[in-house]
Structure formats: structure tokens, C-alpha cells
């Protein structure tokens, strides 16, 4: 390599004729059979192996985000498969493309929000009082600006999002109730106190807080949500191959549109 090629490299992985290396570890000797897929994902992003507790929390986060039934992203993937059944990667890509600001964004938004607030909180770790104070100020600022508070509220799980208490319990058992998860709980309390309306912490928000506590940069929190979602999409496309929804859905929509009045003859 000429010295000017120093920019053209990756610390993630590489191979020679008889070995493959990921993050400095030999793939066949040190990783296959020794680490789980989730451990490897953590290693690649965080650059060290997780502890057993961290791995448990990471798996719980991924499990919580994998699938939510016939969501818009799943429907987009299935309808894409209808037109291009030969391209599984195209249908999965279509499904992931809906993982933007509305559906997977809240995971990232919550991680960023909490991380930004924590940057201004003294103490390592910060005291409960410091977190409460910071939460109160951050919620007040959001409300004053007319902005939603990330991580709170869910259209279906209006009282409790069942994933959230479970994720907090898993974090607590592992001694991993870190500042992001604690701050998020304080944010929910501050929001209830200031508005008189209690919104539950939502699953996406708790997942974002947990990922941040695990050392995942907020800018990659959405990446773990997309990873989880990919597994759900594979399963949905397998079901679509056996029991196709896409053509039935299209036929029904086409029929309903057709039975409606025809478009006006001019516009």
C-alpha cells in the first residue's frame, strides 16, 4: 500500500487466502461456535465483546423490535414480492425503506434526546436527583417549544407498553440500568407531573435508551432496529411464498377502486 492509501481500509474485517478476521479476531477459530450472532453484532459496532448481562439486554432489545405483524413496512415488502418474487433482497430492502422517521426513528430520536440531555448532567454516574432535574428541564423545554417528548406514548398500548417493564427488569437483573434508561423513566415522570397526563414509555424509546446504555452510538440505534426488523421480514416473506397476501390485497383494492365512481372526465 502506498502511504496515500491509508484512508482505504476498514477496521471491521478482512481476509487472506487462509483466514478471515473480524475486529482483530480470527473468524473460524475465535468467533464461529464461540459467539452468538448478537454478540458479533455488538462486537462489530461497540468494538468489544459484551458481558453476559449486556448480551442478555441486547438480545431482549432485538427480540422486542423484530416484528409487529402486518405493519406498513411488512405490507410494502409483501407487495414488492408480488411483483418481483425472484428477488428476496428487493422485497426486504423495500420493507426496510419504511424504517424511517415515523417507524424506527423513535428508537434513534429517544437515544439522541437522552444522550444530549445527559451531556449536560454532572456526575458519573449522575445522581437520581440530577437526573430528575435534567428530565424536568428537558421536558419543560420540549413542551414550551411545542415538540413531542421522544420515547413516550403509543397508539395501541395506551397504558403500558408490555415490552417496557420487561426490558427494565432485564436491565436491572443484569445491573445495567444505566443513565439513559433511568433518565427516560424520569422523563416520563416529569411529563406526567407537568401535563397531568401520564404517557407510558414506549418500546421503541426504551430500546433506544437501552442501546445507548450498551454503548451503541445514537446514530446507529436505528441500525439495530433495522437488523431486528430484517428477521421479521424474512419470516413474513416466507409466509407470503406459502400464503400470498399481496395479490389478494391488490385484487381487493383494485375491485373497490373500480366499483367506485370513475375518475372525473376532466380536471
Which one of the spans 109-117, 121-129, 178-186, 237-245 is the region binding a second copy (CB under 8 A)? 237-245
Strand-by-strand arrangement of the 13-16 sheet: 13-16, 19-22, 25-26
Residue 16 DSSP one-character state? E
Q: Does 41 sit near a second copy (CB under 8 A)?
A: yes
Q: Does 223 sit near a second copy (CB under 8 A)?
A: yes
Q: Does 37 sit near a second copy (CB under 8 A)?
A: yes
Peptide bond into 176 cis (omega under 30): no
CA 209 to chain centre: 10
Q: Is 129 exposed, middle or buried (0-12, 13-18, 19+ CB in 10 A)?
A: exposed
Collapsing DSSP to helix, strand or coil, 152 comes out as strand
Q: Does 79 sit near a second copy (CB under 8 A)?
A: yes
Nearer to a second copy, 105 or 131 (CB): 105
Among 114, 110, 108, smallest CA distance to 135 is for: 114
CA dihedral over 204, 206, 211, 217, signed as positive or negative: positive
Nearer to a second copy, 135 or 171 (CB): 171
Nearer to a second copy, 192 or 249 (CB): 249
Least spacing, CB of residue 52 vs a second copy, in Å: 12
Q: Does 70 sit near a second copy (CB under 8 A)?
A: yes
State how far the Cα of 64 lies from the Cα of 68, in Å rounded to an integer.
Answer: 9
**Pattern of binders to a second copy over 83-102, x per CB under 8 A?**
xxxxxxxxxxxx-xxxxxxx
State how far the Cα of 196 lies from the Cα of 180, in Å rounded to an integer.
Answer: 23
Q: Is 57 exposed, middle or buried (0-12, 13-18, 19+ CB in 10 A)?
A: buried
Q: Does 260 sit near a second copy (CB under 8 A)?
A: yes
Nearer to a second copy, 145 or 264 (CB): 264
CA 259 to chain centre: 41
Nearer to a second copy, 1 or 124 (CB): 1
Residue 201 DSSP one-character state? B
Taking CB under 8 A as the criterion, the residue among 66, 130, 192, 194 binding a second copy is: 66
Report how many residues bind a second copy under the rule CB under 8 A.
Answer: 137
**Pattern of binders to a second copy over 143-182, x per CB under 8 A?**
-------------xxxxx-xx-xxx-xx--x---------
Nearer to a second copy, 107 or 139 (CB): 107
Query: β-strand 25-26 against 13-16: which pairing, if any?
Result: unpaired
Nearer to a second copy, 11 or 128 (CB): 11
Which one of the spans 124-132, 134-142, 180-188, 235-243 is the region binding a second copy (CB under 8 A)? 235-243
Q: Does 125 sit near a second copy (CB under 8 A)?
A: no
Amino acid at each position: 500500500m502506498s502511504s496515500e492509501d491509508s484512508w482505504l481500509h476498514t477496521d471491521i474485517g478482512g481476509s487472506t487466502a487462509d483466514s478471515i478476521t473480524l475486529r482483530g479476531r480470527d473468524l473460524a477459530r475465535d468467533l464461529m461456535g464461540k459467539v452468538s450472532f448478537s454478540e458479533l453484532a455488538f462486537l462489530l459496532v461497540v468494538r468489544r465483546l459484551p458481558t453476559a448481562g449486556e448480551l442478555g439486554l441486547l438480545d431482549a432489545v432485538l427480540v422486542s423490535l423484530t416484528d409487529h405483524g402486518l405493519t406498513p413496512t411488512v405490507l410494502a415488502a409483501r407487495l414488492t414480492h408480488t411483483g418481483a418474487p425472484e428477488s428476496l433482497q428487493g422485497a426486504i430492502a423495500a420493507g426496510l425503506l419504511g424504517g424511517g422517521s415515523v417507524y424506527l426513528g423513535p428508537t434513534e430520536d429517544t437515544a439522541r434526546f437522552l444522550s444530549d440531555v445527559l451531556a449536560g448532567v454532572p456526575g458519573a454516574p449522575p445522581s437520581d436527583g440530577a437526573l430528575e432535574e435534567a428530565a424536568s428541564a428537558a421536558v419543560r423545554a420540549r413542551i414550551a417549544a411545542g415538540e413531542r417528548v421522544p420515547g413516550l406514548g403509543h397508539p395501541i398500548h395506551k397504558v403500558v407498553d408490555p415490552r417496557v417493564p420487561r426490558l427494565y427488569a432485564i436491565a436491572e437483573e443484569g445491573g445495567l440500568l444505566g443513565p439513559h434508561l433511568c433518565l427516560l423513566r424520569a422523563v416520563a415522570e416529569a411529563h406526567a407531573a407537568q401535563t397531568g397526563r401520564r404517557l407510558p414509555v414506549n418500546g421503541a424509546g426504551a430500546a433506544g435508551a437501552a442501546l445507548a446504555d450498551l454503548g451503541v452510538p445514537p446514530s446507529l440505534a436505528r441500525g439495530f432496529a433495522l437488523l431486528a426488523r430484517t428477521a421479521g421480514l424474512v419470516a413474513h416473506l416466507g409466509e407470503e411464498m406459502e400464503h400470498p397476501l399481496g395479490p389478494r390485497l391488490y385484487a381487493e383494492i383494485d375491485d373497490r377502486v373500480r366499483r367506485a365512481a370513475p375518475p372525473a372526465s376532466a380536471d
